[in-house]
Amino acid sequence: MRLPNKRNREMFGSAELMLGANHIRIRCFDGVTRIGRIKGKIKKKVWIREGDILIVVPWSFQDEKCDIIYRYTRPQVEWLRRNRYL
C-alpha cells in the first residue's frame, strides 16, 4: 500500500470540487485548501472524482497549489481507515 512520504512533503488530501482543465480543489489533511493539478503521468490512467482520497505534494514556491500523485480506491480507503491512517 502506498503511503505519503513525509520527507518528500507528501500528505493526504480529499477532492472537493472539480474545476476543469485538470485542476481540482483539495482539502488537505493539514487544514489548508489547495488547488491541485493532475500530473500527466496519472491523468490518462485514473479518473478522479469528488470525495476521493489522494496523495498530494504542495508546491515549494506557492503553498496554495499542489500536485496530485496518487488516488486511492475504495478498498484501499477502507484499509487506511481500519489501520488508523485516516
Average pLDDT of the residues in 50-62? 93
**Is the whole-model pTM more than 0.85?**
yes
**C-alpha to C-alpha distance for 86 and 73, rounded to whole angstroms:** 14
Whole-number pLDDT of residue 72: 94
Average pLDDT of the residues in 70-81? 94
**C-alpha to C-alpha distance for 69 and 66, rounded to whole angstroms:** 10
Going along 1-86, which residue ranges are E strands? Answer: 11-20, 23-28, 33-38, 53-58, 65-71
The cell numbers describing 31, all together, are 487544514
Q: Strand, coil or helix: what is 19?
A: strand
- Domains located in the chain, CATH noted: 7-82 (2.40.50.140)
Residue 9: which pLDDT band, with cuts at 50, 70 and 90? very high
pLDDT digits (tens, 9 = 90+) for 60-75: 999 899 999 999 999 9
